């Protein structure tokens, strides 16, 4: 199948006119994200299953007509493993996509494997072994070679028959609505409170509330720095360094130098600022300290409850005809157990576990109610 490289407004207008009548569009993106907080847009691939276009964001600045195409008329947009693709589209100004299908989710629901890769699924459906040698291409460099363009085009050329096969499989299994609900949930755009960024810092759970107050100040500053400079968080200051600074709370450059996890460059660039942030964190009043970080594995009888809950999930999933890993992953089961334990302890709960929302709630709630009564 041939493709067209689009790098002028007139070509873009022609593309929009060609794709406008289609009820389904197949989409992929190429980007670079090695040292940056946000993905840098390298290429947009889009097809109606017949015509294939590669749109160059380095030549075309205004993508508003493309975004309108993706969101209007309840048109189905198909991608594979769409997490980072949607993040890129949002960052570039595309509105929330609500009628979207992720072929990775669909493949998992019909039993083709949870988290299946695109190449493996294409080989299963089309009996084609895709060339993945350009997966680490610098998509920001121009000109792109014919081989790179063909690689990019293949990602939507073969997405079409894969999606069409999966849509048929979903319909035959009666799983279409569940799949679309799940894709809509995962595609839902949410913004995290910057003050909660400390919860993303790895290995911070041993810190006490006072230390967490310092970490909260440090993590908020780091995210703001990363956002302003478009740097990956670890290229500002690494997680382990933040944790150790929050733990030891140095008050001088001499003490800060004794934090082995802090590199000489981080010390030179951010040293004075880090000391001021520690001072700011130490000044936080006790009533404003974060609560201790609680891990699900620390819940009393966690292993027994997790094993029992896992059996319940498998039983319900088998009856529903879907893989148990799609009904409730181990992480989602842990989220539910923590939610339940917090309720039992009278602790604040500001989230709804995935297992108790949407289609999963309808499928699981009766069994979970019985399980709750039988489990201390």
> Which pLDDT tens digit goes with each residue over 315-365?
999 999 999 999 999 999 999 999 999 999 999 888 899 999 999 999 999
Cα 103-109-112 angle, rounded to 5 deg: 75
pTM for this entry: 0.94
155 within 8 A of 161, measured Cβ to Cβ: no
In sign, the C-alpha dihedral spanning 308, 309, 310, 312 is positive
Tokens of 143: 């000109």
Domain ranges for the chain: 4-187, 194-288, 296-374
Cα separation values, 203 from 84, 207, 215, 359, Å: 25, 9, 12, 33
Report the chain's mean pLDDT, rounded to a whole number: 96
Examine residue 298 and say whether the peptide bond preceding it is cis (omega within 30 degrees of 0).
no
Query: Among the CATH numbers 1.25.40.10, 1.10.150.120, 1.10.443.10, 1.10.150.80, which is that of 194-288?
Result: 1.10.150.80
**Does the pLDDT value for residue 376 go beyond 80?**
no
Q: How many CB atoms within 10 Å of residue 47?
A: 25
Rounded to whole angstroms, the Cα distance separating 167 from 106 reads 8
Strand ranges for 116-270 from DSSP E: none
The pLDDT, as a whole number, for residue 135 is 77
pLDDT given for residue 133 in this prediction: 82
Give the architecture-level CATH label for domain 4-187: 2-Layer Sandwich (3.30)
Rg (alpha carbons) of the chain, rounded to whole number: 24
- Which sequence positions are flagged as catalytic? 28, 30, 85, 151, 155
Superfamily for the 296-374 domain: HRDC domain (1.10.150.80)
pLDDT digits (tens, 9 = 90+) for 244-302: 999 999 999 999 999 989 999 999 999 999 999 999 999 999 999 999 999 999 999 99
Is 4-187's fold the same as 296-374's?
no
Can you tell me the distance from the alpha carbon of 206 to that of 209, in angstroms, rounded to the nearest whole number?
10
Beta bridge partners of 79: 102
């Amino acid at each position: 199948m041939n493709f067209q490289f689009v790098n002028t407004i007139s070509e873009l207008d022609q593309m929009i006119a060609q794709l406008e009548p289609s009820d389904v569009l197949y989409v992929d993106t190429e980007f670079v994200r090695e040292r940056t907080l946000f993905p840098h847009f390298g290429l947009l691939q889009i097809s109606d299953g017949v015509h294939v276009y590669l749109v160059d964001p380095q030549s075309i600045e205004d993508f508003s007509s493309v975004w309108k195409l993706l969101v209007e008329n309840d048109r189905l947009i198909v991608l594979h493993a769409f997490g980072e693709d949607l993040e890129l589209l949002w960052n570039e100004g595309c509105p929330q996509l609500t009628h979207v299908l992720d072929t990775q989710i669909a493949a998992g629901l019909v039993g083709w494997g949870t988290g299946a890769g695109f190449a493996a699924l294409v080989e299963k459906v089309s009996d084609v072994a895709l060339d993945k040698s350009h997966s680490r291409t610098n998509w920001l460099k121009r000109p792109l070679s014919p081989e790179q363009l063909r690689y990019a085009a293949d990602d939507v050329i073969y997405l079409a028959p894969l999606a069409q096969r999966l849509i048929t499989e979903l319909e035959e299994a009666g799983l279409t609505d569940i799949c679309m609900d799940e894709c809509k949930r995962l595609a839902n755009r949410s913004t995290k409170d910057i003050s909660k960024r400390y919860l993303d810092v790895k290995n911070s759970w041993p810190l006490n509330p006072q230390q967490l107050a310092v970490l909260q100040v440090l993590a908020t500053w780091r995210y703001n720095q990363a956002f302003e400079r478009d740097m990956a968080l670890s290229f500002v200051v690494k997680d382990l360094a933040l944790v150790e600074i929050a733990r030891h709370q140095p008050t001088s450059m001499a003490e800060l130098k004794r934090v082995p996890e802090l590199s000489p460059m981080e010390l030179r660039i951010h040293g004075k600022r880090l000391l001021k942030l520690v001072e700011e964190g130490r000044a936080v009043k006790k009533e404003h300290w974060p609560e201790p970080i609680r891990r699900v594995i620390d819940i009393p009888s966690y292993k027994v409850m997790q094993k029992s809950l896992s059996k319940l999930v498998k039983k319900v999933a088998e009856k529903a005809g879907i893989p148990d890993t799609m009904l409730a992953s181990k992480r989602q089961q842990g989220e539910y157990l923590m939610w339940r334990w917090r309720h039992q302890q009278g602790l604040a709960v500001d989230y709804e576990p995935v297992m108790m929302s949407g289609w999963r709630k309808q499928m699981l709630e009766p069994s979970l109610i019985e399980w709750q009564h039988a489990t201390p």
